[in-house]
Amino acid sequence: MLAPGSSPEQRGRLALQWRQVSWITCWVALYAVEALPTCPFSCKCDSRSLEVDCSGLGLTTVPPDVPAATRTLLLLNNKLSALPSWAFANLSSLQRLDLSNNFLDQLPHSIFGDLTNLTELQLRNNSIRTLDRDLLRHAPLLRHLDLSINGLAQLPPGLFDGLLALRSLSLRSNRLQNLDRLTFEPLANLQLLQVGDNPWECDCNLREFKHWMEWFSYRGGRLDQLACTLPKELRGKDMRMVPMEMFNYCSQLEDENSSAGLDIPGPPCTKASPEPAKPKPGAEPEPEPSTACPQKQRHRPASVRRAMGTVIIAGVVCGIVCIMMVVAAAYGCIYASLMAKYHRELKKRQPLMGDPEGEHEDQKQISSVA
């Protein structure tokens, strides 16, 4: 407040200072409002856990105003069908992303390029048919990946390269028929693998992956049932329980294919032999190459019952041999103890030199022991 005797200059100076303070206060208030994280329309935001929940809203696009500090983004149960490569740009703090129960059929190779801190990615129940090998290259901290209930028929080689932190992987309910062992070898810290409900073909193409599964189970990894669909002899059986003797014919086929590549190619064989051409008059007939199709021997896998019977018979024979060895050892021990006892008694009762009666008694004892 101004004093009663204040001059007009003091009043003007005080008014100017009041205006400056008012402007500064307004600018600070506006800056504070802009600095606060804004929540996308109709979404639920938790400022403590930095979670943005936009699930079940029927969204067809990702909200553009997601706060940059978001750590969890839930977009499940929407109508997302296509995502641009910049859909999650500037969300480098994001750790958990859930895109389950949408209509995604293809993902750009650089869509997760800015998500360097991502640890969990849920893509369950979509229509994804193919994946780019560079899709997860920029997510080295990824620990949980769910690709179940999609239309994946194969996995590109190198898809999991660099994912050393991956702990769990779900590939259930896809269209996978075989997998490459080299695709899974970089997953040194994997603990859980789900591959059930796929139309697996338990043939030579799945042999190397079977070796990897046995190694994975040996080091303590958890794996659900991998039930064979083809061939019919193995339908419904777990791939891990199929004996390795069933795949002996694979090496024979590989040898035949390698040797066949060295043969000189000849005329194609036909089921019906063509009619021989009529020789010209005065010319000697030339021998025609044989075009009959050779009958190839069909390799069949060994019988499971025969393999199990061989194992049982070998076990019985080994058991009988072990019992016989135990009996022989027991007999030897008993015989040695009796002979030692006999020698001790013989030394105690040994007569003086030249006593015929003592010698006669010793002979009787020897005859009785014998």
Coil, helix or strand at residue 194: strand
pLDDT digits (tens, 9 = 90+) for 125-135: 999 999 999 99
Q: What is the pTM of this model?
A: 0.61
E-state strands within 167-305: 168-170, 192-194, 200-201, 222-223, 228-230
Q: Render pLDDT for 278-292 as a digit per residue (tens, 0 to 9).
A: 555 555 555 555 445
pLDDT for the residue numbered 31: 42
Tens digits of residue pLDDT in 120-173: 999 999 999 999 999 999 999 999 999 999 999 999 999 999 999 999 999 999
pLDDT tens string 64-86: 999 999 999 999 999 999 999 99
Residue with the larger pLDDT of the pair 40 and 349: 40
- Report whether pLDDT(265) > 80: no
For each of the domains in the chain, give its residue range(s) and CATH number, in order of start. 37-199 (3.80.10.10)
Instruction: Supply the pLDDT for residue 298.
Output: 46
pLDDT of residue 231: 83
pLDDT tens-digit series, residues 41-67 = 889 999 999 999 999 999 999 999 999
Q: Is the pLDDT of residue 272 over 80?
A: no
Q: What is the mean pLDDT of the chain?
A: 79
Among 216-220, 270-274, 362-366, name the one with the lowest average pLDDT: 270-274
More confident residue, 366 or 170: 170
Per-residue pLDDT averaged across 84-110, rounded? 95
Q: What confidence category does residue 255 fall into, taking pLDDT thresholds of 50, 70 and 90? A: low
> Mean pLDDT throughout 333-343?
87
Q: What is the pLDDT of residue 207?
A: 86
Instruction: Evaluate if residue 257 carries a pLDDT over 90.
Output: no
At 38, the pLDDT band (50, 70, 90 cuts) reads confident
Say if residue 219's pLDDT is above 80.
yes
Q: Are 74 and 54 in contact (CB under 8 A)?
A: yes
Poorest-pLDDT segment among 137-141, 251-255, 310-314: 251-255
User: DSSP string of 316-365?
Assistant: HHHHHHHHHHHHHHHHHHHHHHHHHHHHHHHHHTPPPTT-HHHHHHHHHH
Mean of pLDDT values over 306-316: 78
Q: Which residue stretches of the chain are H helix?
A: 8-35, 181-184, 207-218, 248-260, 304-348, 356-369
Q: CA 12, CA 365: separation in Å to the nearest integer?
A: 146
Q: Which of 269, 256, 200 is nearest to 229 (CA)?
A: 200
Scored b (16 or more CB within 10 A) or e, 249-282 reads: bbeeeeeeeeeeeeeeeeeeeeeeeeeeeeeeee
